[in-house]
Amino acid sequence: MTALAATAVVVGGPSANAAPGCRVNYSVTNQWSDGFGATVTVTNLGDAITGGWTLEWDFAAGQRVGQGWNGTFAQSGAKVTVTNPTWSPGLGSNASVSPGFNGTWSGSNPVPTQFKLNGTVCTGSVGPTSTTTTTTTTTTGGNTTTTTSGNNQPGTRVDNPYVGAGVYVNPQWSARAAAEPGGSRIANQPTGVWMDRISAIDGNGSPTTGSMGLVDHLDEAVKQARTAPGGNLVFQVVIYNLPGRDCAALASNGELGPNDLPRYKTEYIDKIAGILARPAYASLRIVAVIEIDSLPNLVTNVSPRPTQTPNCDTMKANQNYQNGVAYAVSKLGDIGNVYNYLDSGHHGWIGWGDPIPEYDNFHASAKMMASILGREGATKADVHGFITNTANYSALEEPFWTVDDVVGGQAVKEKSKWVDWNDFNGELGFATAFRQELVANGFDAGVGMLIDTSRNGWGGSGRPTAKSSSTDPSVYVDQSRIDKRIQKGNWCNQSGAGLGERPKAAPKPNIDAYVWIKPPGESDGSSTQIPNNEGKGFDRMCDPTYGGNPRNGNNPSGALANAPISGHWFSAQFQELMRNAYPTL
């Protein structure tokens, strides 16, 4: 028999009001070959609780609760719930209670990383504190104690995480950018950190992430926070490793097969969640961008639509996209300083709100997003917002024309090949309208939107300066539009693109920020077949000689030549993005 003990204690400064707060000490008192005993002492740091209390946590390694005492225990999947015993419904301010239980384990028996008391994440602090932040960790006799004090209140989300905060600059991307001629002009811009495979979490084997693992980046973020406004720093991490990832785009296929949901949960999401929940990172505002290009694929690229792809039919049938996204949202949403933003395509993909269901993907995509609610414990409270145009090229706005224009007596919405009945011609209008549709489908009325502007500037000498005078709808639109793609469904290494608006907090109503989630200079996919061990295939949409398919109206791909596989550095594209930046550098 081995005696084990683990204690997580977080102590804040004096409270200015009676805000909720709690502290938990989880102690494994004894352990044997397939079982263990534990005591969970929870202290209420807020107002007295008189109507009953509920304590919650998730097990990370499949442990199961058996007999319990000093509380009523229940378990569903990994989640354990303890409610007050009938004889003791109250828990006074600064009072403690110690439920205990015997349980079973197999393989490993790690201590849970996060606890909630009546829905409040137990960080050990309550209310506003002093103006400085200090974190100290000590280990004595197998017990770990972490003490945090300061003006950041861990576990309490703000309405817009980007307001009043700096944003993390990835030193590895920054170094690549600075090494390029002229790159120092943007090397200090914040970009997303992509967890695009399991090994990326530890910093092993991901060309996109490099040698820095998630802990390395978070430790660096804590350092950068010391000089950020008010000590507040946003850390942007991309959750991107679904089973059967990117079913309609071979260039960004991933390492997990269509049925690898258990691995996605335990080896990927659980591991990331365990790291993000560490007390050392509780003062960071962690923005998690959830699974790019996933759920819209289950609307636009499945049977019976003409853009149907067998891989997407498979993922719709096994529901591992919905279940995987729901699990990620639920697990990460339990961490009080994580802000989940779900990827929601862009206007050139799901901007059609046609009343005929066969052609409507705008309303159908919002319904698909809402289908995650109630799965795997996901609730609307776990979704802080949505992001559009991630790693894409759609312009924010078209300054010289609208889809409702009529020229030569003809509606451009109907007659222009570029518009093709799409209801939008820019991401601002689309993001605003899609937000309203998402709220109508059950998401919280306060959700915010992010727009990726890393490559949608469309500047350079070819940028129009005025509206066309043509009376032909197609010519009028083509001469007036700043987005110079051949077709708005084109997505791979687009020729002529430029850097867009620099990252900015709260630029428009209900837009939380313009962000650079896709790091400029990282390829979308190889222009020719390149063997690799990253699970990434060759997609003809990245081939500049390709004539297209039904998804892009059988138009040329518009892709740049000589591109490396996705995520790898593409110097020629980086240089072009800088040349065509708008606003200019």
**Catalytic residues, which ones?**
293, 524
| DSSP-assigned states of every residue in 400-416 | S--TT-EETTEEHHHH-
- C-alpha distances out from residue 56 to 45, 50, 122, 409, Å: 16, 18, 10, 64
Decide: helix, strand or coil at residue 183.
helix
Number of H helices, E strands in the chain: 13, 23
Rounded CA-CA distance 270/58 in Å is 10
- Say which residues have a Cβ less than 8 Å from residue 431's Cβ, sequence separation at least 6: 386, 388, 449, 451, 511
* Alpha carbons 210 and 206: distance in angstroms, whole number: 6
Q: What are phi and psi of 511, to 5 degrees?
A: -100, 110
The tokens for 206 are: 């991901």
470: number of Cβ within 10 Å = 15
Question: How many of the other CB atoms lie within 10 Å of CB of 287?
Answer: 27
Tell me which residue has tokens 């995509």: 365
Cα separations in angstroms, 117 against 23, 54, 97, 527: 9, 6, 12, 53
Beta-strand relationship, 134-140 and 120-121: unpaired
Alpha helices in 394-544 (DSSP H): 412-415, 427-440, 473-480
* End-to-end C-alpha distance for the chain, whole angstroms: 66
**For 52, what's the count of Cα atoms within 13 Å in the CB-facing half-sphere?**
8
- The token duo for 112 is 């849970």
